[in-house]
A and B are shown apart, each in its own frame.
Chain A
Amino acid sequence: GQQLNQSPQSMFIQEGEDVSMNCTSSSIFNTWLWYKQDPGEGPVLLIALYKAGELTSNGRLTAQFGITRKDSFLNISASIPSDVGIYFCAGLFGGNQFYFGTGTSLTVIP
């Protein structure tokens, strides 16, 4: 399957700090999705990106579809305790198959 390299694997930050994470691949993807997963629950969709260079925001979250179509970035501004969780990227390769990154675990220290 397609490999998505997500980094960093984990982050420990102080409340109020900004967060950046990214996802890279050797393959070109047509769509990028970003999800957040809380313990014991399913992933929840945060942002969807459809065009190279696209920049989309959802509240304090901003994501970008890289211009090479091989990467995507997620930023969280002014982190709060409820931002804690695991963030996943997913890239659409071909028709309707998404490949997922291995996740970035975020811990926010109050």
Chain B
Amino acid sequence: DAGITQSPRYKITETGRQVTLMCHQTWSHSYMFWYRQDLGHGLRLIYYSAAADITDKGEVPDGYVVSRSKTENFPLTLESATRSQTSVYFCASNGQGAYEQYFGPGTRLTVT
């Protein structure tokens, strides 16, 4: 029982490339979230989803695209990666009516 997984765990890409980070949860949680973690900023919300086909912007959505065709998956796409998007990305989820968020192990992305 994996809970919440992210892939890849590490990724190096070049400026301008498209990159997709994957998130998969096995709890059937309604809500899923993408955060980025940077020194000095803590965790900042990029996008979240309340259910399949429902997504909404967080605090720092520019340059990112999300989709949620299935409840268990919530991919994050950087359409044209920039160096400022070098960061550690975390996916999280929580169930309907619950506020405890559970995090995946993270993806460390480097944009060169």
Residue numbers of A with Cβ under 8 A of B are: 1, 4, 6, 31, 33, 35, 40-45, 48, 50, 88, 90, 92, 96-103
11 contacts between A and B (CB under 8 A): A1-B59, A40-B106, A42-B92, A43-B43, A43-B90, A50-B99, A88-B42, A90-B43, A98-B101, A99-B59, A103-B42
- B100 to A42, Cβ gap below 8 A? no
What string of 1s and 0s marks CB contacts (under 8 Å) between B5-48 and chain A?
Answer: 00000000000000000000000000100010000111111001
What string of 1s and 0s marks CB contacts (under 8 Å) between B79-112 and chain A?
Answer: 0000000000010100000011111111000000
- Partner of A96 from the list B31, B59, B102 (CB cut-off 8 Å) is B31
| CA A4 to CA B105, docked complex, whole Å | 24
- B103 to A42, Cβ gap below 8 A? yes
Q: Which DSSP category, helix, strand, loop or mixed, fits chain B's interface?
A: strand
Candidate in B50, B90, B101, B104 with the most chain A CB atoms within 10 angstroms = B101
- Partner of B44 from the list A1, A45, A103 (CB cut-off 8 Å) is A1
- Partner of A97 from the list B42, B48, B90, B105 (CB cut-off 8 Å) is B48
B58 sits at the interface (CB 8 A): yes
Q: Which DSSP category, helix, strand, loop or mixed, fits chain A's interface?
A: strand
- B58 to A33, Cβ gap below 8 A? no
| CA A50 to CA B42, docked complex, whole Å | 22
* Smallest Cβ-Cβ distance to B104: which chain A residue: A42
Candidate in A35, A96, A101, A103 with the most chain B CB atoms within 10 angstroms = A96
- Partner of B99 from the list A4, A33, A44, A101 (CB cut-off 8 Å) is A33
- A88 to B100, Cβ gap below 8 A? no
Contact residues in A for B35 (Cβ distance below 8 Å) = 100
- Partner of B58 from the list A35, A97, A102 (CB cut-off 8 Å) is A97
Candidate in A40, A44, A50, A92 with the most chain B CB atoms within 10 angstroms = A40
